[in-house]
Amino acid sequence: MELIVRRRGEEEHIRLERRGSGFLVRVADRSYEVDCTETSASARSLLVGACQHDVSVRHLGDGEYEVDTGTGLERIQVLGRLEHLAETAHGAKATLGAVRVTAYMPGRVIALLAEEGARVQAGDGVLVLEAMKMENEIRADRSGVIKRFLVDVGQPVEGGEPLYEFE
Amino acid sequence: MSEPPPKRRFRSPFRKILVANRGEIAVRVLRAARERGITGAVVYSEPDRASLPVLLADEAHLIGPALASESYLRGEAIIDLAERIGADAIHPGYGFLAENASFAQMCVDSGVAFIGPPAGAIAAMGSKLESRRLMQEAGVPVIPGGYSPVTSVEDAASRAEELGFPVMVKASAGGGGKGLRRVSSSAELGSAFRGARSEAAASFGDDTVYLEKYIERPRHVELQVLADRHGQVVSLGERECSIQRRHQKVIEEAPSPVVDPELRRRMGAAAVAAAAAVGYENAGTVEFLLAATGEFFFLEMNTRLQVEHPVTELVTGLDLVRWQIAIAEGRPLPPEITDTEIEPHGHAIEVRIYAENPDMGFAPSPGRIERLRLPQGPGVRNDCGVYEGSEVSIYYDPMMSKLIVHGRDRGHALERLERALAETRFDGVNTALGLYRELICDDDFRQGRMDIGLLERKIEAGELRTPSQSTEERDLPLIIAALEHLERQARSSAVPHRDGRRNHWREAARIEAAGGDRWN
């Protein structure tokens, strides 16, 4: 499991892996053995190795958490990889003129839904990407012309990889 | 001519007390009342409906909306209520109506006992200039300076010349650091005079100011007194309150690390003289500035119970609120208090825990207390006015609790304080607990080298900043948030466990092991 956590605009990737009764947690290149147990509705006891940390945590909505470790309050945004990529792709929207539309998640192209040179309306499907056993239709976010596909059916793509040119 | 109707008169001993306050001090008074078998009633404002005093009181009465001027400051309404519910006495706590001479007088006129000094003593000590004059006449040392108002810049200049710079311009009605200006040369005098005057007029509705010699780096040492209604006045020893921020005390202790028995006797005698000079009754505090030279000067008298009274209670073994009640009932102080010189037993330190953000200039940090853990164990006392889940309101002083420790000596008390602070949690709001933990490790503080400017100088110099966190400490909040996110996902998709006490992280770990990203 990989999650992206954001604190004061800075992002880190966290990998969580089951290890005995707890988790092996990797934050960037650092790893921790973590055991977590609920001590009240909003309080958790974390054993990081043998070191105990008492923390309070509250979900503020939309994957945003308020964490109190006893040294002050911090707000942390947690995103799944797909949500994170979707946000990144969204950021490209503002660009005008010919743009390269990128994959917001890693996956495999399983269908192209439009012809090169075809005019599409906002919301029309352009291609289908399969990721984590789910098919996701990639739709045009505004009307325009599909200039050129940069991928083929069956091809695996990485998150952020360009899919097609759009004008 | 018909006789006026017989005035209602309170019963003694009291059977019911009305507490005209909120927060920890209301709780403190309720406890003392209950221990004496007296019914404890409180008033509360709308946002305080679910506050701790209301939950602990025998009776609770709504007194008005949030704004203090429409609730806790409604003196007449509170006295009416006391008469209606048959309360024998009103305890004002500190703040709000505690030092309001006309309120004290109204209580007496209505036949309700005011648990505090007579109105005349409050009024006499309410004016700094007036009290300076009274103290000087009573032989209590006062800071060199004027005994009459400064009327013009020219007047100020000639007086300052006589005293020698630096001098202080002070508002006669002042308090809390308002209407106070330090002047180091005649060039600054004009603007300081005008500034102090306008600030005094704005804050207190009285622009009277006077001039005093400025005392360099003084300590704040105050003496607790008890005075009964039979003319007996005793000093219960001193408290050191030099750790301040913007003229507000932050940490208080008893005894002072620099006051020896001889100085304690002299300061105690001065405090008793000060109280006697105004016909004082009940518990009060005479504040002094203690100069590096060992000279001490009268600063003001607080004609009420003080926030920091517990440190005196711990080193004297006396319950001050209990004695306040007994004195108001008319009982004399017994010989074991009046005839023996009170020497402190061990050492006590109090820290005030506010909902405040030290990283944002100590701005109030209202909110819900998500988790409260008060320290326990040997030598620890908490005077707390909140509970887990309660809201710290934006309307009132954000003090939530006071942590007080008692040890054999100062070193022992500091060890306990350090341990107790590490146990304490007020999650969900910001506090200065981290700053306190730094401060009590500070060499100057540990050695007792302090003056009223020490804390601010250290904060400004960045000396009390939390030591830089380890990478692990920095990663910790991220790990918690990620685990919590995983747990929420598991909770929304997992089947309930047979014993109903699921461990969601185990559940999450199992889902993870099964290879499922269950969300997105």
One domain for residues B111 and B156: no
Under an 8 A CB cutoff, do A83 and B520 touch?
yes
One domain for residues B402 and B493: no
Q: What is the mean pLDDT of residues B132-161?
A: 93
First to last CA, chain B: 91
Tokens for B159, please give them.
């007086």
Question: Helices (H) and strands (E) in chain B — how many of each?
Answer: 18, 22
Q: Each residue of A54-100: pLDDT tens digit?
A: 999 999 988 999 999 988 889 999 999 888 887 777 654 444 456 77
One domain for residues B432 and B305: yes
| Half-sphere CA count of B221, side-chain side, radius 13 A | 31
pLDDT of B58 over the 90 cut:
yes
At A136, give phi and psi (nearest 5°).
Answer: -125, 120
Q: CB of A155 within 8 Å of any CB in chain B?
A: no
pLDDT at position A159 is 65
Look at residue B470 and tell me if it is in a domain: no
Look at residue B508 and tell me if it is in a domain: yes
Under an 8 A CB cutoff, do B483 and A54 touch?
no
Which of B158, B184, B213 is the last residue before a domain boundary? Answer: B213
One domain for residues B307 and B398: yes
One domain for residues B189 and B243: no
Look at residue B169 and tell me if it is in a domain: yes
One domain for residues B184 and B227: no
- Write out chain B residues lying below 8 Å of A54, CB-based: 373, 425
Q: Each residue of B96-115: pLDDT tens digit?
A: 999 999 999 999 999 999 99
Mutate to test the interface with B, among A45, A56, A87, A132 (most CBs of B within 10 A): A56
Look at residue B24 and tell me if it is in a domain: yes
pLDDT at position A94 is 40
Look at residue B138 and tell me if it is in a domain: no
- DSSP-assigned letters across all residues of B164-232: -SSEEEEEEEEETTEEEEEE-SHHHHHHHHHHHHHHHHHHHS---EEEEEPPSS-EEEEEEEEE-TTS-
Separation in Å, CA of A72 to nearest CA in chain B = 6
Q: What is the mean pLDDT of residues B184-212?
A: 90
pLDDT bucket at B6, cuts 50 / 70 / 90 = low
Looking up residue B346, the CATH number of its domain turns out to be 3.30.470.20
One domain for residues B293 and B431: yes
One domain for residues B190 and B323: no
Q: CB of B510 within 8 Å of any CB in chain A?
A: yes
- DSSP-assigned letters across all residues of B223-272: EEEEE-TTS-EEEEEEEEEEEEETTEEEEEEES-TT--HHHHHHHHHHHH
Cα B289 from chain centre: 18
Q: CB of B478 within 8 Å of any CB in chain A?
A: yes
Q: Please, what is the angle between helix B119-126 and helix B101-109, to 10°? A: 170
- Write out chain B residues lying below 8 Å of A65, CB-based: 480-481, 484-485
Proportion of chain B above pLDDT 70, given as a percent: 93
Tokens for B494, please give them.
């997992």
Under an 8 A CB cutoff, do B481 and A57 touch?
yes
Look at residue B327 and tell me if it is in a domain: yes
Tell me, what DSSP letter sits at residue B42?
Answer: E
Under an 8 A CB cutoff, do A27 and B478 touch?
yes
Separation in Å, CA of B56 to nearest CA in chain A = 24
Cβ–Cβ under 8 Å, residues B227 and B324: no
Residues facing A34 on adjacent strands: A23, A48
Sign of CA dihedral B454, B456, B460, B465: positive
Residues facing B254 on adjacent strands: B348
pLDDT at position A62 is 87
- Write out chain A residues lying below 8 Å of B468, CB-based: none
Q: CB of A52 within 8 Å of any CB in chain B?
A: no
Q: What is the mean pLDDT of residues B334-353?
A: 94
pLDDT at position B444 is 96
Strand locations in B274-395 (E): 282-290, 296-302, 347-354, 356-357, 363-364, 367-368, 371-373, 380-384, 391-392
Strand locations in A8-158 (E): 10-19, 22-27, 30-40, 43-48, 51-61, 64-68, 73-80, 99-102, 107-112, 119-120, 125-131, 134-139, 144-149, 156-157
Which of B63, B98, B115 is the last residue before a domain boundary? Answer: B115
One domain for residues B248 and B207: no
Look at residue B195 and tell me if it is in a domain: yes
pLDDT of B494 over the 60 cut:
no
Among the partner residues A48, A72, A76, nearest to B481 by beta-carbon distance? A76
- Kindly name the residue from B28, B159, B264, B304 that is annotated as catalytic: B304
At B380, give phi and psi (nearest 5°).
Answer: -120, 130
Q: List the single residue in B with minimal CA-CA distance to A83.
A: B520
Of A165 and B312, the structure prediction assigns the larger pLDDT to: B312
Look at residue B175 and tell me if it is in a domain: yes
One domain for residues B234 and B341: yes
Q: Each residue of B446-462: pLDDT tens digit?
A: 999 999 999 999 999 99
Among the partner residues A3, A22, A67, nearest to B480 by beta-carbon distance? A67
Q: Name the average pLDDT for chain B.
A: 92
Among the partner residues B480, B512, B513, nearest to A55 by beta-carbon distance? B480
Largest Cα–Cα distance of chain A, in whole Å?
Answer: 62
Which of B213, B237, B262 is the last residue before a domain boundary? Answer: B213
One domain for residues B237 and B375: yes
Indicate the range of A137-146, B381-390, B492-501 predicted with least confidence: B492-501
- DSSP-assigned letters across all residues of B382-438: EEE---TT-EE-SSS--EEEEEEEEESSHHHHHHHHHHHHHH-EEETS--SHHHHHH
pLDDT at position B93 is 98
Q: What is the mean pLDDT of residues A18-42?
A: 93
- Active site (annotated) includes residue B408: no
Among the partner residues A14, A40, A48, nearest to B478 by beta-carbon distance? A14
Q: Name the average pLDDT for chain A.
A: 85
Q: ipTM score of the complex?
A: 0.77
Read off the pTM. 0.82
pLDDT at position B366 is 85
Exposed / middle / buried, residue A128 (Cβ in 10 Å: 0-12, 13-18, 19+): middle
Residue B510, domain extent: 484-514
Q: List the single residue in B with minimal CA-CA distance to A15.
A: B482
One domain for residues B207 and B223: no
Question: Which residues 105-134 of A have a C-beta within 8 angstroms of B?
Answer: 132
Buried b (16+ CB within 10 A) or exposed e, B392-417: bbebbbbbbbbbbbbbeebeebbebb
| Number of domains within chain B | 4
pLDDT at position B74 is 97
